């Protein structure tokens, strides 16, 4: 790859991205993707930016240019959603999003003429689906993952409704969001350019909060209210789409409505087995076998091939089949329960609840610990964290189980953090 290493700006940005939990493994296709989305100078500038939100004044100091010139460059990047901009206490801040869910997806969330989206789709397909290094790094490494499954609320029996918390309900995320945007599905749009897309609804993927507000202002999402959002959720249910959202309890930034044939997370779940690539919901389908007709509808709609038909072991009907569930692969989405015409599939609470990080800081810390990069998250060499940011990170670490706290201490080799952990643990 000697010819690639000469492209310094892209190499710098790749190195920058790979210092944090959601990286982008080096590849010929990655350089080509970046070259479609930006020029080499822009990549070099982005590589110098801090991981936490920053102002134009901060960027100007890093880039050694005037604040006015920095603002112009930052706004140009934000116009193409390579950066997310937001207002915090009346001042504009910017943040560099990860590749996924981030600027890779944003690039395909509307039809646009400033880049060749067919070429980009082909590059994404090769880099993410064919080569596999990126998808494995994103979905397979570590226990804490980017996303989680939302159970279909209309499949939960009333006597189990008490077991569903608000953060597990897509409807509650929609109803409580300050900003909500709807955009074109990145996965199906990409597959459309490849000639491999299904006929599931395209304009149905949802973003929330500051991310949605930025995407809306720059024309990459359409603002919708809670009522329309709930209507879109109902449409997703009717099309047997899985709700795959950010793996946090508070301030969920996205919920995608995914099909099994186009969605990269679902493809990864089938390739590598679940319990790794996507967190399940806290519910599992249970089959009432004496009423199962063996029609196979549940097998057809399952996005991760967790359902199958096996012999019913009925000597009077030797060819009769019944549904069976692979618990290790099941998402707990409820698509099978919803499609069952004889209602022989019931959604029941899991015996052990799946852990969901409280917020994005907690999630990032967990992912960094498990992937061995916590020191990069805390000691970002492009900016000194403020006391508030450091306190948030340390607070998230101190809430971890003892084993993970020990891993955190070992990774960053900090006497200061080590003493805090010892004090919290009472040792």
At 241-269, the pLDDT tens digits run 999 999 999 999 999 999 999 998 888 87
The residues that bridge with 349 in the sheet, in sequence order, are 283
Question: Hey, what are 296's tokens?
Answer: 């196979």
Over residues 117-127, mean pLDDT: 96
103 pLDDT more than 90: yes
Lowest mean pLDDT among 10-24, 86-100, 156-170, 375-389: 375-389
Within 10 angstroms of residue 166's Cβ, the number of other Cβ atoms is 11
Nearest to 299 by CA among 337, 245, 336: 336
Please state, in angstroms and rounded to a whole number, the distance separating the CA atoms of residues 158 and 148.
23
365 pLDDT more than 70: yes
Residue 136 has a pLDDT of 77
Residue 2 has a pLDDT of 38
Half-sphere exposure of 279 (CA within 13 A, CB side): 22
113 pLDDT more than 70: yes
Kindly report the three-state secondary structure assignment for every residue of 14-28.
Answer: HHHHCCCCCCCCCCH
Return the percentage of the chain with pLDDT > 70, whole number: 83
Please state, in angstroms and rounded to a whole number, the distance separating the CA atoms of residues 293 and 340.
10
The percent of the chain in helix, strand and coil, each rounded to the nearest 5, is 50, 15, 40
The residue extents of the domains of the chain are 2-135, 140-272, 283-349, 360-425
Those residues with Cβ within 8 angstroms of residue 84's Cβ, 6 or more apart along the chain or in another chain: 78, 94, 95, 97, 210, 211, 214
At 173-210, the pLDDT tens digits run 999 999 999 999 999 999 999 999 999 999 999 999 99
Nearest to 146 by CA among 352, 354, 374, 356: 356
Lowest mean pLDDT among 58-67, 250-259, 359-368: 359-368
Residue 276 has a pLDDT of 59
Please state, in angstroms and rounded to a whole number, the distance separating the CA atoms of residues 368 and 356.
15
DSSP for residue 160? G
- 259 to 170, 177, 303, 380: CA distances (angstroms): 17, 24, 6, 37
CATH of 283-349, picked from 3.30.70.20, 3.20.20.210, 3.30.70.1060, 3.30.450.20, is 3.30.70.20
At 270-300, the pLDDT tens digits run 877 644 567 899 999 999 878 899 999 999 9
Question: Hey, what are 323's tokens?
Answer: 């549904």
pLDDT band for 51, please (50, 70, 90 cuts). confident
Within 10 angstroms of residue 422's Cβ, the number of other Cβ atoms is 12
CATH of 2-135, picked from 1.10.10.10, 2.60.40.2890, 3.40.50.10890, 1.25.40.10, is 1.10.10.10
91-113 in b/e form (b: 16+ CB < 10 A) is eebbbbbbbbbbbbbbbbbbeee
Nearest to 72 by CA among 92, 97, 96, 102: 92
Those residues with Cβ within 8 angstroms of residue 265's Cβ, 6 or more apart along the chain or in another chain: 139, 147, 244, 256, 258, 277, 278
Please state, in angstroms and rounded to a whole number, the distance separating the CA atoms of residues 295 and 179.
42
184, 109 Cβ separation under 8 angstroms: yes
Nearest to 137 by CA among 24, 253, 252, 7: 24
């Amino acid at each position: 790859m000697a010819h690639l290493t000469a492209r310094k700006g892209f190499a710098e940005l790749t190195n920058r991205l790979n210092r944090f939990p959601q990286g982008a493994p080096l590849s010929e296709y990655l350089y080509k993707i970046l070259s479609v989305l930006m020029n080499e100078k822009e990549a070099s500038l982005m590589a110098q930016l801090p991981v936490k939100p920053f102002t134009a004044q901060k960027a100007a100091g890093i880039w050694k240019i005037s604040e006015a010139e920095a603002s112009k460059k930052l706004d140009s990047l934000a116009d193409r959603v390579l950066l997310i901009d937001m207002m915090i206490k009346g001042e504009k801040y910017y943040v560099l999003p990860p590749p996924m869910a981030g600027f890779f997806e944003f690039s395909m969330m509307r039809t646009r003429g400033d880049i060749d989206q067919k070429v980009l789709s082909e590059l994404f397909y090769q880099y993410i689906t064919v080569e596999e290094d990126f998808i494995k790094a994103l979905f397979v490494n570590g226990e804490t993952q980017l996303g989680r499954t939302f159970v279909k609320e209309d499949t939960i029996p009333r006597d189990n409704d008490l077991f569903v918390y608000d953060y597990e309900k897509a409807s509650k995320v929609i109803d409580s969001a300050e900003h909500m945007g709807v955009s074109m599905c990145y996965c199906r749009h990409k597959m459309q350019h490849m000639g491999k897309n299904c006929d599931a609804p395209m304009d149905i993927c949802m973003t929330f909060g500051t991310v949605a507000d930025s995407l809306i202002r720059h024309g990459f999402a359409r603002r919708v209210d809670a009522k329309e959002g709930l209507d879109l959720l109902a449409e997703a249910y009717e099309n047997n789409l899985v709700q795959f959202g950010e793996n946090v309890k508070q301030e969920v930034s996205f919920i995608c409505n995914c099909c099994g044939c186009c969605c990269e997370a679902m493809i990864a779940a089938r390739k590598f087995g679940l319990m790794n690539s996507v967190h399940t919901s806290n519910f599992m389908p249970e089959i009432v076998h004496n009423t199962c007709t063996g029609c196979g509808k549940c097998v057809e709609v399952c996005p991760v091939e967790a359902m199958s038909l096996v012999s019913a072991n009925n000597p009077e009907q030797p060819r009769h089949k019944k549904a069976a569930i692979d618990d290790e692969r099941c998402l707990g989405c409820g698509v099978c329960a919803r499609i069952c015409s004889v209602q022989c599939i019931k959604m029941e609470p899991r015996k052990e609840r799946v852990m969901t990080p409280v917020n994005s800081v907690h999630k990032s810390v967990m992912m960094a610990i498990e992937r061995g990069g916590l020191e990069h998250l805390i000691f970002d060499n492009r900016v000194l964290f403020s006391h508030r940011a450091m306190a948030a990170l340390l607070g998230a670490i101190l809430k971890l189980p003892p084993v993970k706290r020990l891993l955190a201490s070992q990774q960053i080799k900090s006497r200061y953090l080590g003493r805090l952990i010892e004090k919290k643990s009472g040792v």
